[in-house]
Amino acid sequence: MTDVPVVLGINRTQDASACLMQGSRLLWAIQKERLTRHKHHWGKLGDVRTHYGPRLPWPGRPLDVVVECFSSDAEARDLASYDEELESALRLAPGCRRVRISHHLAHLYSVFHPSPFREAAVMVIDGQGSPVAELTDHWSGAAYVPGDWREVASFYRADRERVHCIGKQLWDRDDMRLVGLGMFYFLLTQAIFPGEGNEGKVMGLAPHGLAHALGLPPLDVDGAQVTLPPAWRDILRDRDRFRYGQPGVAFADCANLAAAGQRAFEDAMLAVARWLHAETGLDNLCFAGGTALNCSANERLLRETPFKQVFIPPAPGDAGTALGCALYGLTELAGAGCAYRWTHDYLGPAPRREDIEAALANRDDLHVDHLPDVGALCDRMLDLLCRRRVVALYQGSSEFGPRALGHRSILADPRHVETRDWINARVKQREWFRPLAPVVLAERAAAYFDLPRPSPFMQFAAPVRPDMVSRVPAITHVDGSARLQTVGPDDDPLLRRLLEDFDARTGVPVLLNTSFNGKDEPIVETPDEALASFRRMPLHALAIPPFLVTKRIEPELPT
């Protein structure tokens, strides 16, 4: 491996992150929020020295390539200080190549290069990316617009030899003329739930409303250009009327606005995707940017556009651009081929056995059982799950994206609807209308869910088959859908074993799966954090292989 380049990619903007590769082998990738415990933590000067450098498993070799990605935030004004940080905090090889790439180009490399496709159309849609003057992809339209305009959507035709940008939507920075699907959904979210990262709440609230109740029009779509009609601009400024949970604000108004916005967003996205297909004529679509986390819209991309296959990575938002930076450095600067494919999302550093044992030592309020055999551990977990206990699972390397996929998860029996309400209210301490997700054996998924393809990354919301709703009510949303994760024979072995054995015991190949974190917290990263969250929450057990932890005083059951 001595002649294989070592490449570091760093996302310096929202959902800051870092990714380290040695050739096509991904060594680790992690979001800053997992290290600082500050959700959606932005990149700042000092991140490498303070957070990534001291705590992550670096290889013995120095770095051959470093690629950074900024966006349109103020951090990009102090690049000299960032250069000094890299030089002083990292071990750089002589002649180490260092570049910065623009935001949507980083998204492109994060989604196409690790996709299964030989060629594809690529759609990148988020709030706002880089200024035109700082674009590092080659787009002919850049010569005709002011340099301070910002990309809000980018569209490409890509194959393994070349990438061609066929169009962008730009924002001219006029706050009275807001444009783009990402900006629209951000403003919709802010009207109902202020703060960062609440788009999922809007998506969960929308099925409780009536899309036509407020009489709002569709968004204006012209090819790849999406703009907001005056009626939408006006209503999104009327925030006092729609702030969820505030005195005098009607739930129906909040839900109706969410429903109208979700419908308008989906319809406009489908129109843009159809335009992109007409422009490229390709069967495959890669989709990235923060809007690609909208699993309800993603399901319609599969069903209602001419694309035959759609790839959405586990981390399509800004966090994923660290991987895009690393892959750009590997292919474009180091001149190496990219054999990496995003087949799972367990990219974080794995916990050490000694750290697990230290976290569990001298805990008088807990029972700690050592179960070195995976079968014995699964049997104990299933005993608990079938008796309506709620079990946290902490194992192996952490997930890089925002979804818990069985390494940092809370699991429960999906057959009891009160379990969902109890988890939302008592464990997660969040809004009652939030759905909880199913994880299902891939080969049995079609019997329960109407989705035409596997969904290993929990990126698509699919209808639950009507005859199965009564069997899995805890994971069925009010509109009859569920955001599922499929687990195939070659996927995580412990999760696969749990599902197989739960199916054997109950006839149901599905478990309820939600992320292992408390209210307004990132997903747990370390054994200490897992144990602290377990002790604080009314969870009944914690599986942290090879141990099973229970409480001497058991919490109440879901009721």
Instruction: Give the mean pLDDT of the chain.
Output: 96
Bond preceding residue 546 cis, omega within 30 of 0: yes
Residue 239 has pLDDT above 80, yes or no: no
pLDDT tens across 497-547, in order?
999 999 999 999 999 999 999 999 999 999 999 999 999 999 999 999 999
Instruction: State the pLDDT at residue 259.
Output: 98
**Mean pLDDT of the 343-363 span:** 96
Judge residue 94's burial from the number of C-beta atoms within 10 Å of its C-beta, 0-12 exposed, 13-18 middle, 19 or more buried: exposed
**Mean pLDDT of the 480-488 span:** 98
Q: How many other CB atoms are found less than 10 A from the CB of residue 246?
A: 11
Instruction: State the pLDDT at residue 2.
Output: 59
Residue 74 has pLDDT above 90, yes or no: no
What DSSP assignment string belongs to 60-124? SSPEEEEEEE--SSGGGGGHHHHHHHHHHHS-EEEEEEEEEE-HHHHHHHHHTTTSS-SEEEEEE
To the nearest 10 degrees (0 to 180), the angle between helices 251-280 and 295-304 is 40
Instruction: State the pLDDT at residue 176.
Output: 85
Name the band, by pLDDT with cuts 50, 70 and 90, for residue 73: confident
pLDDT tens across 106-142, in order?
999 999 999 999 999 999 999 999 999 999 999 999 9
Instruction: State the pLDDT at residue 77.
Output: 81
Instruction: State the pLDDT at residue 1.
Output: 46
- Whole-angstrom Cα distance, residue 257 to residue 295? 18
pLDDT tens across 148-183, in order?
999 999 999 999 999 999 999 999 999 888 899 999
**Mean pLDDT of the 47-69 span:** 94
Residue 79 has pLDDT above 70, yes or no: yes
In the chain, the domains with their CATH numbers are: 1-102+316-342 (3.30.420.40), 115-312 (3.30.420.40), 353-551 (3.90.870.20)
* Structure token digits, residue 382: 């299933």
